[in-house]
Structure 1
Amino acid sequence: MRAAPSLTEDTAVVSAGLEYLPDFLSPEEEAELIACIDAGEWLADLSRRVQHYGYKYDYSNRRLDESARIGPVVATVSLGSAVSMDFCCDETGDEHVHRLEPRSLVLLYGDARWKWRHGIAKRRTDTVHGQKIARHRRISITFRTIAGPSQHRPAA
């Protein structure tokens, strides 16, 4: 059994509530997940292909279907290509780019979840340390907790 991966130090830029765990999965686990996902049916009603397990997420309104609300934790596992995730704090205007490597896990909760917007820009390359790096196929497995009555977004 592998040792638990450690957090990277640059996560402090965004704030409390961003945890990044590189090499969360082994290359063999990644390949197995990609094969299982590829065997499923892809929906093509967006500009990217998606599969939903459980509640359907409304990307335009950033919420789940009417019967559920997103809870306090979002977890994303990256498969395939690396990608840069952009963060922006509405309160301060601060911006941060965090590189998500293949087989990594990112957890968002607390300030990182509620005070920082996050997203992956639609483009063919990322600039990393001044160098353009081509993007390739990436699969994101995103887990969103479902909020109970006491877990809704904290008051500002």
Structure 2
Amino acid sequence: MPVDMKALLARERERRRAAASGDPAGAATASSSAAATAPVVMAPRAKISLRDFDVGERAGVRGLHYVPDFISPDEERAVLAGIHAPGTESRWVRSGRRRVANYGGVPSSSEVTEPLPQFATSLLEAIASAGIVNERTAPNHVLVNEYVAPAGISPHNDGDVYAPHVAIVTLGGAALMDFWPNDGSVTADDDRRDCDEREPTPIAQVLLRPRSLLLYTGDAYGLRHGIRHRDVDVATDRCVNAAVAGVEIGDEVERGRVRYSVVFVRKGHG
């Protein structure tokens, strides 16, 4: 089932009409993400070297970086409170077995139409201050995915609109993400089918622990990726971050009831 682009477009048109008309009530409803989200305070971040967090090298995948415990449990709770702050419920759109809240404009368009909400701005400042992104390529668009176990996401490639990188902060639960060569079979995240056991063996897997950050760029950005539909993941010899994620081959990792991914992307290149 595809993301409901018609609903997203309708909401975007409503937001623009409210802003243009100066209608305080309409504008407040349409842009509630910025006004209603709870304050999120992040501790100062020291600069890190992405080379120290390169997990894809052992699988021959360049540009795959995993930072464990990028945020603290208190920061995680604050971000989750911001995601579910009063007035944000209207942001959610059903997409297959997950829900998606979109901030910044229509996902398939390169146009940025609104500022990021406060919870995302705080997270982004932490990502930028750690040196994970630079000013020229700093994200300006956020997608929040809500997965209720055993939900996953279909194999897809992010295409050109989000290049050169995607940064994902995981909240609430764990999941194993698979990466495959981009064979052209699925070029967009459309949820037409589950990522299940029929999928071929991945060239790499990354176990996304709560509060971790995943950055894929360069060659890794061009790969297809997905998360299988299951309640429990099993670490295999393709899990490139097994050591830092604290698992061994054959270990089982329960998803948890609800998992969130905060996906930061850059739209409108240059």
Tell whether the structures are fold-level matches, with TM greater than 0.5: yes
Task: Describe the SS at the equivalent of 2:62.
Answer: coil
How far the C-alpha of 1:18 sits from its partner, in A, is: 1.1
Q: Which moved more, 1:76-85 or 1:4-13?
A: 4-13
Q: 2:70 aligns with which of 24, 43, 52?
A: 24
Q: State how 1:3-152 maps to structure 2 within 5 Å.
A: 3=46, 7-8=52-53, 10-12=55-57, 13-39=59-85, 40-41=88-89, 42-46=91-95, 47-57=97-107, 64-65=108-109, 67=111, 69-90=161-182, 95-114=203-222, 116-128=223-235, 129-136=249-256, 137-148=258-269
* Partner deviation per Cα, 1:50-81 (whole Å, 9 max, x = no partner): 11111233xxxxxx237572221111000111
* Partner deviation per Cα, 1:96-115 (whole Å, 9 max, x = no partner): 1111111111111110001x
Q: Which moved more, 1:4-13 or 1:104-113?
A: 4-13
Q: CA RMSD in A?
A: 2.5
How far the C-alpha of 1:127 sits from its partner, in A, is: 0.7
Percent identity reads 37
Distance 1:85 1:48 in 2: 15
| Structure with bigger RCO (C-alpha 8 Å, 6+ apart) | 1
Amino acid at match of 2:80: I
Contact 2:233 2:252 (8 Å CA) reproduced: yes
Rate the CA distance shift 1:109–1:45 in 2: closer, same or farther, 3 A: same
Name the structure where strand makes up a greater proportion of residues: 1
Task: Describe the SS at the equivalent of 1:113.
Answer: helix
Gaps of 5+ in 2: 1-43, 113-160, 184-200, 236-248
Rate the CA distance shift 1:73–1:55 in 2: closer, same or farther, 3 A: same
Q: Which moved more, 1:3-12 or 1:41-50?
A: 3-12
Name the structure where helix makes up a greater proportion of residues: 2
Q: Which moved more, 1:118-127 or 1:77-86?
A: 118-127
Amino acid at match of 2:106: K
Length, aligned pairs only: 141
**TM-score under structure 1 length normalisation:** 0.77
How far the C-alpha of 1:24 sits from its partner, in A, is: 0.7
Task: Describe the SS at the equivalent of 1:30.
Answer: helix
Gaps of 5+ in 1: 58-63, 150-156
How far the C-alpha of 1:122 sits from its partner, in A, is: 2.3
Contact 1:5 1:21 (8 Å CA) reproduced: no
